[in-house]
Chains A and B, each alone.
Chain A
Amino acid sequence: MKISLNVREESVQEVTRALREEPVEITEEAPYILSEVTVSSGLLTVRDLKNEERVLVPLADVVQFAAFGHTVEVRTREKTYSVSMPLYKLDEMLEERSFLRVSNSVIVAVRHIRQIKPTLSMRFILTMSDGSEADVTRTYYYAFKEYFHI
């Protein structure tokens, strides 16, 4: 089987080494692409929750990432997907200016924040563009304030 790699440069060697034992030929002209979940292309490979199909979702459409146990949900305005990657790795990969971690289990897309509601404790409640809400917890309170200069 011929596949093409769509991974970061630093990952090429690691992936190639892993695939060496498999009956796979890595070539640019392959009918299949092994793609890393990455933001370099502005796309994210996610899994459809209903039919388990892999889908490429534009990061611009992602409203928030929410972790539930070992599952990380990727919520867009239309649909919810899952991604098999820990939240902290996503946090590292995502652009700092576009996404913001607001709690241990949630990363939100800054452009999709519609309203910030202050509370009487050290928390904010964010209303997202899809109508969902996300809490800015105390741990991320000051980081959030710093981000928005508020």
Chain B
Amino acid sequence: MNTFNVMIIVVAIVAALVLLFALYYVLYKRHINRALEPGEKPRLRLIAPYKLLIGLTVFLLALSVSLTGVFGANMALDYEGITKRAGRDLASRTLEVIDMPAVGKNGEPYTPPRPSDAAEIEGLLSTCGFDGFEVIPVMGISSFTHHDYRAAFVYGVDAKDCALFGLESMEDDVGYMFEAESDAMTLQLDVVRAETSEGSSGLVAYDMVDYPIRTQSGLSPEGFTEVFFESMTPTQREDVLYSGRPVLFVTLPTLAKMLAVCLRDDLPDGVRDVEDVFEHPWFSGCSMYICMNDLMDVNAARTALGEQGCVTVGPLKETTDYYESMSLLFRAVCAAGAVLTCVAAVNVFLSVKGVSQIRRRRKARAAG
């Protein structure tokens, strides 16, 4: 059941209850006004609307609490594509992600630090950002031994500028350069299929700053510039080597730029979500590498870190809006419930007081 359906159901339930209450109110009004007609005496005593309101309030409160506690959380988790909700998972997944053994071009093996204490990690995250975990300067890697990560790119400085990087129509030996301007910066990323001297191949994304454009063709309607690389120098291609499944490598600054243009409207058709990219045929079987850097804040990391090291990231801005809207909805329902409860409580108190007053009067009359 998706979010929209659940919200529709919630709204429908509330609307139905309000409608029923309005109907009852009209009926009750007619009923009591019958007493004014000569010779007419109401046979039944209907429940007063305010009493019904008390019941309705309690029901709505229970409903909102259960929705918030059960459906709300589940929906939120579904939305992120994760199944665990423990906050401490941030630490462990951070470890998983950063714990990628790599070998530098100089032949030195790279082993990222592995803090043992989750709290310590969180402290580091909050105080030092990801400086301590900016473990892999991508362009410095000559071999990459972990290919099981499926990652997305997150740039958490300004969620508004986060966007999705989409690639389409990639052909062998041809790279497309996608350009998308954001408020903050411009992404220029060219992607080629690189082959190593050993014959392995992989998809390589290069920062345009680092690699010259040799050929450039026209603009696409979406505002993307497609730049074809007819050829690349062997050195450039061999800068990044792949073995096994292809891995998308980009430099850290490029990652930041890629992520900085997420959620833009001028994405290629059919690519509107990070998950769309993952599901795109062009990426099938492709592992991606996540680079965390100091641009990534803790919340972004928490969002990014998924189950079993797989990182599936929804557009941050949308996610934020989603949570805000859901949160606002439930807060509104809860606030309305709280107000109604207060009214109901006052009513109950006063009705009890009213009954006791009537009893006192009766007693006084009986006493003479």
Interface residues of A (CB under 8 A from B): 113-122, 124, 138-139, 141-143, 145-146, 148-150
**Which residues of the partner chain A approach B53 to less than 8 Å between Cβ atoms?**
120
Stretch of B29-37, B206-214, B267-275 contacting A (4+ beta carbons < 8 Å): B29-37
Given contacts A113-B36, A142-B355, A150-B35, contact A118 B347 (CB under 8 A): no
Contact of B343 among A115, A116, A117, A121 (CB under 8 A): A121
| Contact A115–B351 (Cβ < 8 Å) | no
Per the CB 8 Å criterion, the residue count for chain B at the interface is: 27
Between-chain CB contacts (< 8 Å), 29 pairs: A114-B36, A116-B29, A116-B32, A117-B29, A118-B25, A118-B28, A118-B29, A118-B48, A119-B49, A120-B49, A120-B53, A121-B50, A121-B346, A121-B347, A122-B354, A124-B32, A138-B351, A141-B351, A141-B354, A142-B354, A143-B361, A145-B45, A146-B358, A148-B32, A148-B35, A148-B42, A149-B35, A150-B31, A150-B35
Pick from B28, B41, B346, B353: contact of A149, CB below 8 A: B41
Closest to A146 in B: B358
Closest beta carbon of chain B to A40's beta carbon, Å: 22
Q: How far is the CB of A118 from chain B (nearest CB, A)?
A: 6
- Given contacts A121-B343, A122-B350, A142-B354, are A116 and B36 in contact (CB under 8 A)? yes
In the complex, what distance in Å separates the CA atom of A142 from the CA atom of B33? 16
Contact partners of B346 in chain A: CB under 8 A = 121
The reply on B357 being an interface residue by CB < 8 A is yes
**Given that A138-B351, A150-B35 are contacting pairs, would A143 and B358 also be in contact in the complex, using a CB cutoff of 8 Å?**
yes
**Bound Cα distance from A42 to B346, whole angstroms:** 41
Asked whether B358 lies within 8 Å of A118 as measured between CB atoms, the reply is: no
Contact indicator B358/A122 (Cβ below 8 Å) = no
Residues of B within 8 A of A139 (CB): 354, 357
Q: Which of A124, A141, A143, A149 contacts B45 (CB 8 A)?
A: A149
B347 with A122: CB separation less than 8 A:
yes
- In the complex, the chain B residue whose C-beta lies closest to that of A141 is B354
Enumerate chain B residues within 8 angstroms of A141, measured Cβ to Cβ: 351, 354
Known: A116-B36, A120-B50. 20 other contacts (CB 8 A): A116-B33, A117-B29, A118-B25, A118-B28, A118-B49, A119-B49, A120-B49, A121-B346, A122-B50, A122-B350, A122-B351, A138-B351, A142-B351, A143-B358, A143-B361, A148-B32, A148-B35, A148-B42, A149-B45, A150-B45
In the assembled complex, the Cα of A55 lies from the Cα of B196 at a distance in Å of: 116
Q: Which residues of A contact B29 (CB under 8 A)?
A: 116-118
Q: How far is the CB of A73 from chain B (nearest CB, A)?
A: 23
The 6 closest A-B pairs by CB, nearest first: A148-B35, A150-B32, A138-B350, A142-B358, A116-B32, A142-B354
> Across the interface, which residues of A come within 8 angstroms of B49, CB to CB?
118-120
**Hey, which chain B residues are within 8 Å of A117, CB to CB?**
29
Q: Which residue of A lies closest to B48 (CB)?
A: A118
Q: For chain B residues 25-65, which have a beta carbon within 8 Å of chain A? A: 25, 28-29, 31-33, 35-36, 41-42, 45-46, 48-50, 53
Task: List residues of chain A with CB within 8 A of the CB of B347.
Answer: 121-122
- What is the distance, in angstroms, from A150's C-beta to the closest C-beta of chain B? 4
User: B32 touches which one: A118, A121, A142 (CB < 8 A)?
Assistant: A118
Interface centre among B29, B350, B355, B361 (most CB of A within 10 A): B350
User: Which residue of the partner chain B has the closest CB to A123?
Assistant: B50
A139 to B359, CA, bound (A): 12
Q: Contact at A150–B42, with CB atoms within 8 Å?
A: yes
Bound together, the chains give a CA A114 to CA B36 distance in angstroms of 7
Chain A positions within 8 Å of B361 at CB level: 143
Which residue of B has the minimal Cβ distance to A117? B29
Which residues of A lie under 8 Å from residue B25 when comparing CB positions? 118
Say whether A115 contacts B33, CB under 8 Å.
yes
A138 to chain B: which residues have CB within 8 Å? 350-351, 353-354
In B82-140, the 8 Å CB interface with A consists of none
Which of A115, A116, A148, A150 has the largest count of B CB atoms less than 10 A from its CB? A150
Residues of B within 8 A of A120 (CB): 49-50, 53, 343
Which residues of B (309-345) have their CB < 8 Å from a CB of A? 343
With a cutoff of 8 Å between Cβ atoms, the chain B residues found around residue A149 in the complex are 35, 41-42, 45
Determine how close the nearest CB of chain A comes to the CB of B270; give it in whole angstroms.
52
Contacts of B33 in A (CB 8 A): 115-116
Chain B nearest CB from A86 CB (Å) reads 18
